[in-house]
Structure 1
Amino acid sequence: METRKRSLLKAVIWNAMGLAMMSLVGLIATGSMAVGGAMALINTAIGLTLYIIYERVWAGIRWGRHV
């Protein structure tokens, strides 16, 4: 079973990578670092929250596990 700490760390690392990529995409799409950065921060905040919930739900599902 995943611990909450492990789920959180995985989510933070995954979202840090996503933040970097989304910042670049936002900059390219808008031509503005401020707008691109704001888009990336909003996306990361939403993504991090949903990923943590998703991981915790799956941590409680026994289906497909070998113990």
Structure 2
Amino acid sequence: MILDQPIKKWFVDRTGEDTNIKSFVKSVSWRIVGTIDTIIISYIITGQLSMAISIGSVEVVSKILLYYLHERAWEKMTKVKIEADTEEDYR
């Protein structure tokens, strides 16, 4: 495929690690899958498509907010405290 290599450069860096773009695309695609799942389950339970879509719409916003708060909490809990360097360390 002609575009295979240029597209791979978007998703994998020179060291073979995933790029930020790949992580972002995966996050969005996973959120879409999760929301579709919620809509389907809501439809099975309620039998109303409009209600299922409403629940899915609220869910997508709430899950994004909850994920953000979850990430911030993990960042604070796992952050290693580094003592401030003194000027003597640089002399």
RCO higher in structure (CA 8 A, sep ≥6): 1
Q: TM-score range by the shorter chain?
A: 0.5 to 0.7
Match of 1:32 among 39, 43, 48: 48
Q: In structure 1, what is the Cα distance between the partners aligned to 2:64 and 2:27?
A: 6
Q: Verify: 1:50 aligned to 2:66, yes or no.
A: yes
- Alignment partner of 1:19 is 2:21: no
Q: Which runs of 5+ in 2 are unaligned?
A: 1-19, 81-91
35-44 or 50-59: bigger deviation: 50-59
Greater share of helix: 1
Paired residue for 2:17? Answer: none
Asked which structure has the greater CA Rg, the reply is 2
> Alignment RMSD, CA only?
2.6
Give, as a single letter, the amino acid of the residue that structure 2 aligns with 1:56. Answer: R
Cα separation, 2, equivalents of 1:52 and 1:44: 12
Looking at structure 1, the residues matched to 71 and 29 of structure 2 have their Cα atoms a distance apart, in angstroms, of 14
TM-score (norm 1): 0.64
Matched positions, count:
58
SS in 2 for 1:21: helix
